[in-house]
Structure 1
Amino acid sequence: MPYALTVKKIEGKPGSVYYPLQIKQVPRPTPGPNEVLVKITAAALNHRDLFIRRHLYPGISFENPLLSDAYGVVVEAGPGASTALLHKPVILTPTRGWESDPNGPEDPARFTVVGGSRLHPAGAAQQFIAVPESELELAPDHLTPAEGAALPLVGLTAWRALVTKSAAAFPGANLLITGIGGGVALQALQFAVALGCRVFVTSGDSAKIDRARALGAIAGVSYRSPSWDKDLRALLPADRPFLDAVIDGAGGDVVTRAVRLLRPGGVISQYGMTVAPKMDWLMQAVLNNIELRGSTMGSRAEFKAMVDFVRQHKIRPVVSRRVQGLTNLDAIDGLFKDMSEGKQFGKLVIEIDSPDSASKL
């Protein structure tokens, strides 16, 4: 029987508990009407998976498989489903319940990210999954399975934060992307470079700034510096000595810093707040007509547009580290440790065994 990876419930308070991983055997799914069966080849971690293990995420399931990101091959078509994708590599959509409204989910109560959620049974950390064929995109030919698995949720989040929300996805725009090294930040960097933007980055690690420059960033500064905003201002080009937008997933004092750098009417596109769940909004930002725009994941239409852009521009998502085998719990725990300690530069990927592979339980 195939395997699925879940978390095991133990006693503990949110934030202090750390749910252990567990493997369980599950029946091989049978695709229903308009569904296809996908054999998952690779799956990837996101920060939400770490938050789930710490009980810092809503609606946790201890039965449904973890992980939102998957790359696989269609191996069977159910009744009414097209056979066009049969034996083709595909990328699965990481969310459900948001079709195309650029403002947000059509019915927020129906929107969810898949993986370890009570709101939807789907999850990437399993060897086979039956899904509606409408929840698949043909994988770009240039991607490896690990790169394909690295793309879905961070790609969707970065695409919406940059293209839909920032008003600065155009050649020559000056962008600041904070916290480079995380999956969303790196994907936003790759998209922005392909669009012709001039990208600046922050990180607490100079080596990560150097690697970002190798990917096309103009320059970067350390957010550990008490004057990083002044340091960045000195790096801005003379012909455009301001930022058009900031793509931020940290929060904290980003408004205080960014208001000194953004042009009047500039945008802070906020896709996360890892420093704290709230931050200050300054009168100076009001006087400068700065806009703060929240950005969460994205729609099915945005997902398709993002995958098409990756295909067109031959973008390769950055994979930080990969491990072999869904049942290799020690190695998978090592990926979570990398994420917890902020060691990764790019995505953390599990390359999944076939169902008859030897277990490493």
Structure 2
Amino acid sequence: MGATEPAWAVRVLAGLRGAAPGASAVALAVRRGPEHALLTTGDTAFRSGAPAGADTRFEIGSLTKTFTALLLAEMVARGEVAYDDPVSRFLPRAAAPHLRDTGITLLHLATHTSGLPRLPPGLLRTGAPAWFSNPYAGFSTAALHRALTRTRPRSAPGTRVRYSNYGVGLLGELLTRAAHGSADADFADLLADRVLTPLGLTSTSCATDQPQATGYWHGRARPLWQIPALPAAGAGRSSARDLLTTLDALLDPTAQPPTVPRTLRTALADVTRPRLVLPRTGRRIALIWNVRPRPGHDLYHHSGGTRGFTTFAGFSPQANVALTALANTGPAFTGTFIQRAYLELWALAHTESSRLRGEG
């Protein structure tokens, strides 16, 4: 962390560091109007790590889903798929007999309204022995295809929000099939080609063979997170710099350079359009992103976690504020780190929104 970082950003980092006592490293990237800051504290591992920096890779868990949403919107902009396409259009002929006539669409998968369970059938059984280290690692693509034949939706599509790693993981497989027409194609390559590389995200990928921080859970080092059958739901790695670049692109898609394809610029705008309103609370869901309306502005947010990492990202287009926070320790039961990151985003957006309205 440099001596010239703004005092308000240093204060935010100090609060986040205090909310992640089991981490050896915490990274923060934040925008407040024209100002932005990239700050880190600590080392990539206890005792043997190098100093963490803005390009240090952290496992981002379910934040991967926000990139999957961008891929979906980009493929819609290309005309390769449509939001109301039924999943049966892309499923292998022999798979998922209980899904074919349900009316589940790609949009249902991207808004957690498909009715699919949180996890595919069979994963709890195979993942139980490694539940506190790497529960998805032993669940193969073949196991996913077997699970599809046993899946029965828990509710009618579009009637209930039920968070589903299974659903978004399946979305990634269906998009890969739609783009390549083959079950042998790779989701990670498609995501890199259509989203990550055009946005200039040099530290972001699903790869496990690149340097990254060590993850910790209750002070113990965790193995590299692997999720081979459902990479679209949680296999991503990224850095504070790359995540702020992504949030900046979402804040203002029109400011993207000509090197960003038109379809991706369209996707950056489309992915933030609210698709449904939750009863009683008034909260909304865009493509993957949660949206909380506040006086004068909206807050978009999502979090992620693996056994050794906790991450948060959020932004407010009206207030021109964005914040992402990363820690190399597993999510606490109380959600302290994520709650702290959200509250810091809320405070920055509230202050900026009030200033822009002439109230401050």
Larger RCO, structures 1/2 (Cα 8 Å, 6+ apart): 2
TM-score (norm. length: structure 2)? 0.30
- Higher helix residue share: 2
- Higher strand residue share: 1
TM-score (norm. length: structure 1)? 0.30
